Chains A and B, each alone.
Chain A
Amino acid sequence: MTDATNPTDAANSTNAGDSAGRTDSAARTGSTDQADSTARAGSDSRTPSRRSLIGWGGAGLALGAAAAGGAVAATRSGDDVEPTAAGAGAAVAFHGTHQAGIATPVQDRLHFAAFDVKTTDRAAFVQLLKDWTEAARRMTAGHAVGEGAYGGLAEAPPDDTGEALGLKPSRLTLTIGFGPSLFERFDLADRRPQALVELPKFAGDNLDGNRSGGDLCVQACADDPQVAVHAIRNLARIGFGKVVVRWSQLGFGKTSSTTPEAQTPRNLMGFKDGTRNIAGTETDRLKKFVWVEEKDGPAWMTGGSYLVARRIRMNIETWDRTSLQEQEDIFGRDKGEGAPVGKAKERDKPFLKAMKPDAHVRLAHPDTNAGATLLRRGYSFTDGTDGLGRLDAGLFFLAYQRDVRKGFIPVQRSLAPDALNEYIQHVGSAIFAIPPGVRDKDDWWGRALFSKDPKEA
C-alpha cells in the first residue's frame, strides 16, 4: 500500500528493467501529447493533451477558450501541468494555516465519508495519514494518485481509479476530521479536545447508527461530482485494511454560501436559508466564530475548527402540500425574495419580533442565541426514494465552529420549538475535530496530534 501510493518508494524499489519499461511508456505518452500540442499552433506547450480533454463537456469550445486566453488548465493525465488558481475548474491551494474546504467558496458538489479505524497499529495509521495527505495533495491539484491510471504494469491494477482523467481540478478540496471515538485509540485520550463533546440528544432526533459517528471524516467538495466521488473512492481504496467506510453522503446544490453573493442558494424546501452565513473573506468573524485559537487548546488544534454533520431528512411531500402562507411563516421569510417578515429585500436586517415565535429564522438567529454563529456549508441530498414512494431527500447540514458548545449545541437546543420540525427529522449525526491545515509538502494531516510534543511538531 505504502509503496504503491508513494511514487518515490515505488521508483526506488523498481529494478532497472522496470524503469526502462516505465520510461519508455512515459516517453510514448509524452510524444503523443507533444504532437497534439504542436498541431495547435501558438498554444501553450502546457495546454492539456487532447486525450485529457476527451470527456470535457463541449471539449472543442473549452479548448478554444483555454488556448485563446492563454489559460492553463490542469489535467489528470499524469503530466506535470500546474493548475492555475483562477476559474471554475481551477485548483484550490492544499497547503495553508487552515484546511481548505471550510472558508473556501462553497463548491457545487459534495462527497462526505465517515470512516472507522480498523488497525490497532499506530505506525500503520500514521502512515495512512501520510499516504492520504500525499494523495489529497495530488488530487486537489488535478493529478492522478500515485503512478496514475494507466501506463503502468499491464498485469496490475493502476494506482488511480481513472474516472477523473481529463477532468479539471474543479476546485476540489479535501478536509479531514477526527471523531471523538478516535481518541479512544492509540493512547490519544489525553489529547482529546474538551470542545469535542458528544452531542446531546436533541428533541426530535431519530438517529440511525449506520449514518452517525465515525473515527474520521473526509469532506470532499468540488464543482464536478465525479471529481468529488473520485477523491473519496481513492482515499477509501488506499485505506482498505486500516480504515473502513462507515457511512457516506453525496450532496448537491449547496444550501449556503461562503461568498457574499447576490442570491443565497435555496434548500429543497425552496427557501433561502443562511443569508448571513460567514463569508470566506470575513476574517474577523472567521477568527471569532470558526478558527480555534491557541488559548482554546489543545495546542494541536490551533488553526483548526469543529464540524457538526447532520443528515436532516425532509418530509418533502407534506411540505409541498403546505400553504404558501404557512411555509413563509415557518421560515420567517418570503419565498420569492427571501426577505425577512415585513422587509423588502433578502439582506434587510430581520426584525425578529415581527416573526411568529416558532419561526425558523427567529429561533436560529444569533440574536436569539447570545450571538452564537456557525459557518454553514450544507448541501441538499436526494438518495432516491424510501420504499414508500417518498423522496429520501433533505439537507446534509455541515457547520464549522470554534466551539460546538457555543455554536451548534445552543442553536439546536433553541430550535426545539421550531415550526419547521414538523417537516424535518434529524436522522444522522456526527462531530469531528478538524485539525489545522497542512503547512507544506513535508507536513501531513494530523501530524501535530500524533507527534510527541505538538509544539515541536
Chain B
Amino acid sequence: MRAVRLSVTAAATVAALAAVTGCTEKSDASGDDRVVEVTATDTKCEVSKKEFPAGHVQIDVTNKGSKVTEVYLLFPDDRIVTERENIGPGTSQKVTAEVKAGDYRIACKPGMKGKGIRQDVKATGTGKVAERDPRLDAAVASYREYAQEQADETLPKAKVFTDAVKAGDIEAAKKAYADSRIGWERTEPVAESFGDIDPKVDLREDGLEEGQDLEKDWTGWHRLERSLWKDKKLTDRDSELADQLVKDLEDWQNRVGKAEITPTSMANGAKELLDEVATGKVTGEEERYSHTDLVDFKANVEGAEKSYELLKPVASENDAALTKELDTQFAALDTLLDKYRKDKNSYEFTSYDKVGKADRKELSDAVNALAEPLSKLAAAVVK
C-alpha cells in the first residue's frame, strides 16, 4: 500500500513541475531528473547523475555484468533506504524510494556479496516526502531502543554461559544456557535481517547446508547445547565455540542499532516470532537436547507483544476489532504459558519433553489463534 501512495505523490510532483515549466507531461521517464540510471557490471557501478531532487526518486538498474547483482540506496550510516536483490545478468529493474535532501550512496553488489561498489549521491532541494504518522516514527525509535537493550543485556548473560563452558562446568553451563538466549529470541527478526549473524549463533543441526561439516562449520548455542545435553562432555572445541559465540553476539550488539526497521517490518516481525514458535518450538525441534523450548517460546511471544504494544495506538484506530482480538489472544497465550512456569516472573519453564501431546496441541492452537490475526497487523498499521 505504501508503494501506491508513493507513486501517487510522485505523479502529483511531476504534474506540478510540468505546470511550472509549461511542458507537456512526459510519458518517457528517462529524461526525468528524478530517474537515476545505474549501470552495474562485475567491477563498476556507474550512475547517470550524482544529484537529484529530494522526494521521489527512481533508480533504473541494468546489470551488464556476468554475475547476479543487487542494488542498494543507503544512508551514509549504511542503513538501507531501499534495495533490490537478484538482478540477473542482462536484466533491468526499477527501484523507487522517497528521500529527504541529504547525502546517500548507491551500492551495487556483484555476486550479491561484500560491501559492494559504491557511489556517493546527493538529494537536493525541498521536495516533499510523504509524511509518516509521527506515532509510527516513535514506535520505530522505541523498538530500535528495545532491540539494542536486548542485545546489551544478553552479552553478560551469554558470558556467564560461555565462561561455564570454558571452565568445563557442565551443570553451571546448562543452568545458564536458556537464560542466555532470551534477549536474542525476543528480537530474532531484527538479528535475522542482517543475514550473516543468525546462522552463526542459532543454527540447528539440520540447518547445515550440503557440503558443510558438522564438526567444523556448526557453531553457536545449539552446538554447545548438544555437547552439554547429548555428548555430556566439554572439549577444547567447545571452548573455541564459546569464544566464537561471544564474538558473534558482540557483532550483533554493535550492528543491531543500524537495522532497517519500519512499522510494517515491526508488525511482520511480531508475526515471524510466532511463526518461529509454530514451526520450531511447538514441535520441540529447537531445543531438542535441552528441552528448554518453552523459554524460547515465552521470549518470542514477549518480543512479539513488544512490537504490538508499540504499534497498537495506530493499529487500534485503523482496526479496533483486530486489536481487541490481539489483546484477547496475547492474554490467552500468556495465561496458557504461565501454566508451565514456576512463577509469574520466572523463566523456569517445564521441560518440553514433559509436555504431553494433548498439551502441545493446546499450545499450538493458542499460537495459531494469535498468529493468524497478528498477520493482519501490518495492514492495520499502514492503512
Interface residues of A (CB under 8 A from B): 1-4, 13-15, 17-18, 20-21, 24-25, 118, 152-157, 237, 240-242, 244
Is B379 within 8 A of A153, CB to CB?
yes
Is A24 within 8 A of B372, CB to CB?
no
Is A1 within 8 A of B373, CB to CB?
yes
In the assembled complex, the CB of A274 is this many whole angstroms from the nearest CB of chain B, namely: 35
Complex CA distance for A299 and B278, rounded to whole angstroms: 43
Complex CA distance for A240 and B1, rounded to whole angstroms: 26
Complex CA distance for A14 and B382, rounded to whole angstroms: 11
In the assembled complex, the CB of A19 is this many whole angstroms from the nearest CB of chain B, namely: 11
Residue among A13, A237, A240 with most chain B CB within 10 A: A240
B268: interface (CB < 8 Å): yes
B351: interface (CB < 8 Å): no
Decide: A1 near B372, CB < 8 A? Known: A153-B378, A156-B379, A241-B325: yes
B322: interface (CB < 8 Å): yes
Is B5 within 8 A of A17, CB to CB?
yes
Is A156 within 8 A of B376, CB to CB?
yes
In the assembled complex, the CB of B299 is this many whole angstroms from the nearest CB of chain A, namely: 22
Complex CA distance for A157 and B272, rounded to whole angstroms: 12
Is B368 within 8 A of A155, CB to CB?
no
Is B378 within 8 A of A241, CB to CB?
no
Specify the main secondary structure of chain B where it touches its partner. helix
6 contacts between A and B (CB under 8 A): A4-B379, A21-B5, A118-B369, A153-B379, A241-B329, A241-B368
Q: Which 4 pairs, one residue from A and one from B, show the smallest C-beta to C-beta distance?
A: A241-B369, A156-B379, A21-B4, A240-B372
Interface residues of B (CB under 8 A from A): 1-5, 8, 264, 267-268, 318-319, 321-322, 325, 328-329, 361, 365, 368-373, 375-376, 378-379, 382-383
Which residues of chain B are within 8 angstroms of A13 by Cβ–Cβ distance?
318-319, 383
Specify the main secondary structure of chain A where it touches its partner. loop
Is B1 within 8 A of A155, CB to CB?
yes
Complex CA distance for A156 and B264, rounded to whole angstroms: 9
Nearest-neighbor residue (CB-CB) of B271 within chain A: A157
Complex CA distance for A436 and B267, rounded to whole angstroms: 42
Complex CA distance for A237 and B376, rounded to whole angstroms: 12
Which residues of chain A are within 8 angstroms of B376 by Cβ–Cβ distance?
1, 4, 156-157
Which residues of chain A are within 8 angstroms of B268 by Cβ–Cβ distance?
155
In the assembled complex, the CB of B253 is this many whole angstroms from the nearest CB of chain A, namely: 29
Is A2 within 8 A of B321, CB to CB?
yes
Is B372 within 8 A of A155, CB to CB?
no
Which residues of chain A are within 8 angstroms of B375 by Cβ–Cβ distance?
156-157
Complex CA distance for A211 and B112, rounded to whole angstroms: 50
Is A154 within 8 A of B1, CB to CB?
yes
Is B372 within 8 A of A15, CB to CB?
no
Complex CA distance for A241 and B327, rounded to whole angstroms: 12
In the assembled complex, the CB of A380 is this many whole angstroms from the nearest CB of chain B, namely: 28
Decide: A24 near B4, CB < 8 A? Known: A240-B368, A241-B329: yes
Is B325 within 8 A of A21, CB to CB?
no
In the assembled complex, the CB of A24 is this many whole angstroms from the nearest CB of chain B, namely: 6
In the assembled complex, the CB of A16 is this many whole angstroms from the nearest CB of chain B, namely: 11
Nearest-neighbor residue (CB-CB) of B267 within chain A: A155
Is B379 within 8 A of A241, CB to CB?
no
Is A18 within 8 A of B372, CB to CB?
no
Which residues of chain B are within 8 angstroms of A154 by Cβ–Cβ distance?
1-3
Nearest-neighbor residue (CB-CB) of B381 within chain A: A155
Complex CA distance for A14 and B379, rounded to whole angstroms: 11
Which residues of chain B are within 8 angstroms of A152 by Cβ–Cβ distance?
379
In the assembled complex, the CB of A285 is this many whole angstroms from the nearest CB of chain B, namely: 41
